[in-house]
Structure 1
Amino acid sequence: MSDKNNLKEQKAQEKLKKIQQKKARKEDKKKIKLQKKEEFTKLYNEFEGHDGTQEGKIKAAKTKKVKKVKDKIDYKLALKEAPIKFLKEVNKIQWSSRKNLGTKFLWVIIFIAIFGVFFFFIDWGFQSLFELIKII
């Protein structure tokens, strides 16, 4: 009995930790967003627009904004990790069952036959029409 209670308590604690981590991530995102907004408002307030209009001021502040410098890619590490990432992605694929593939194959064959017969009769009709009006 105590083992079950301990397991339940551990699971409850793990859930609480996950919830707290999610909240922390959300707060971090909010802080980053606020920082970006403050940077933009600071640039906006410092800058005088070209034509004196509100839109001109906003455009000029956006163009003046400095972009982040991209980190360099470690190609050796990327080449080592590529097969592992590939296998993980392949394992995520849900393959169809043999029965499901068989039914889909039959439907495709049936529709090919139906459209083949349909276009045969269309072709035959046009051929006989052209022979009637003596085009062919």
Structure 2
Amino acid sequence: MSDKNNSKEQKAQEKLKKIQDKKAQKDSKKTLKKEKKEEFTKLFNEFEGHDGTQEGKIKAAKKRKVKKEKEKINYKLAIKEAPIKFLKEVNKIQWSSRKNLGTKFLWVIIFIAIFGVFFFFVDWGFQSLFELIKII
């Protein structure tokens, strides 16, 4: 009986610990969000170069935020690695099979023929219409 009570107490303690951990995570997220908001309001209140409107103030404050610097590119290393990266990318390409390529080629030829006939008749129709109304 005491073993069951102990296991129930342990489970209750574990649940309580999980709840406390979740609460601590929420609190840390809230404080982080609050710090960001305070930083933004500080930037918002201490800036120059805005047009006096609320939108202008917000844009100016956002512009003043510090941006991360880009990493410098090692061009020698990039030139050495370029052919290797190129070959890896080429090897990833899945080339069509000969049969699949033949069917695609056939479909292209069929559509070219269909559109050629269509535009021939459209052109012939306009030409006869213009001859009928004596524009040509």
Instruction: State whether TM-score is above 0.5.
Output: yes
Q: In the alignment, does 2:75 pair up with 1:79?
A: no
Cα distance change of structure 1 residues 122 and 95 upon mapping to structure 2, 3 Å threshold: same
Post-superposition CA distance 1:31-57 (Å, at most 9, x none)? xxx7x8576345236446267x7x94x
Return closer, same or farther for 1:60/1:124 CA change in 2, 3 Å cut-off.
Answer: closer
Root-mean-square deviation (CA, aligned residues, Å) is 3.3
1:40 to 1, 11, 36: 36
One-letter amino acid of the structure 2 residue matched with residue 116 of structure 1:
G
Structure 2: tracts of 5 or more residues without a match: 1-28, 47-51
Structure 1 residues 125, 61: closer, same or farther in 2, change over 3 A? closer
Deviates more, 1:122-131 or 1:92-101: 122-131
Stretches of structure 1 that go unaligned for 5 or more consecutive residues are 1-33
Instruction: Indicate the structure (1 or 2) with the bigger Cα radius of gyration.
Output: 2
1:77-124, CA deviations, whole angstroms, 9 ceiling, x for partnerless residues?
A: 000000011111111111111111111111111111111111111222
Per-residue CA distance 1:64-89 (angstroms, 9 max, x = gap)? 32222222211100000000111111
Matches of 2:127 and 2:87 in 1, distance apart?
55
Query: Residues 127 and 102 from structure 1, CA distance in 2 versus in 1: closer, same or farther, beyond 3 angstroms?
Result: same
Could you tell me how far 1:134 is from its partner in structure 2? 2.4
Q: How does 1:23-102 map to 2 (within 5 A)?
A: 40-41=36-37, 43-44=39-40, 46-47=42-43, 49=45, 56=57, 59=59, 61-102=61-102
Distance 1:38 1:92, change over 3 A: farther
Give the CA deviation at 1:62: 3.1
For normalisation by structure 2, the TM-score amounts to 0.58
**Contact 1:40/1:65 (CA < 8 Å) preserved in 2?**
no
In structure 2, what is the equivalent of residue 26 of structure 1? none
TM-score (norm 1): 0.58
**1:49/1:60 contact within 8 Å kept:** no
SS of 2:106's partner is helix
Q: What is the total number of aligned residue pairs between the two structures?
A: 102
